[in-house]
Amino acid sequence: MNFFDIITNSHNDTLARTGIIHTPHGDIHTPAFIVVGTSAAVRAVDTDSLAGLGAQAVLANTYHLYLQPGMEIIRQHGGFAPMMGWTGPTFTDSGGFQVFSLGTAFGSHVSKFAKGEPEQGVVGLEKKEKPKKLATIDDEGVTFRSHKNGSSHRFTPESSMEIQWDLAADIIFAFDECTSPTDTLEYQKKALDRTHAWAKRSLDRHTELDTDNRQALFGVVQGGAFPDLRKYSAQTLGAMEFDGYGIGGSFTKSDLQTAVMWATTELPEGKPRHLLGIGDPIDFFLGIEAGIDTFDCVSPTRIARHGGFYTYDGMAHIANRQHRTSMLPLDTHCDCSTCTRYTRAYIAHLFHAREMSAATLLSVHNLHFIVRLVDTIRDTLRDGSYSEFKAAFLARYYSGKL
Active-site positions read 93, 296
Length, in residues, of the chain: 402
- Distance, CA of 115 to chain centre: 20
Rg (CA), the chain: 21
User: Max Cα separation, the chain?
Assistant: 61
Closest among 218, 216, 221 to 195, alpha carbons compared:
221
* 324 in Cβ contact with 345 (< 8 Å): yes
- Distance, CA of 271 to chain centre: 18
Strand partners, 155: 142
Which are the contacts of 212, defined by CB distance < 8 A and separation ≥ 6? none
* 67 in Cβ contact with 144 (< 8 Å): no
Closest among 241, 294, 245 to 265, alpha carbons compared:
245
Strand partners, 136: 143
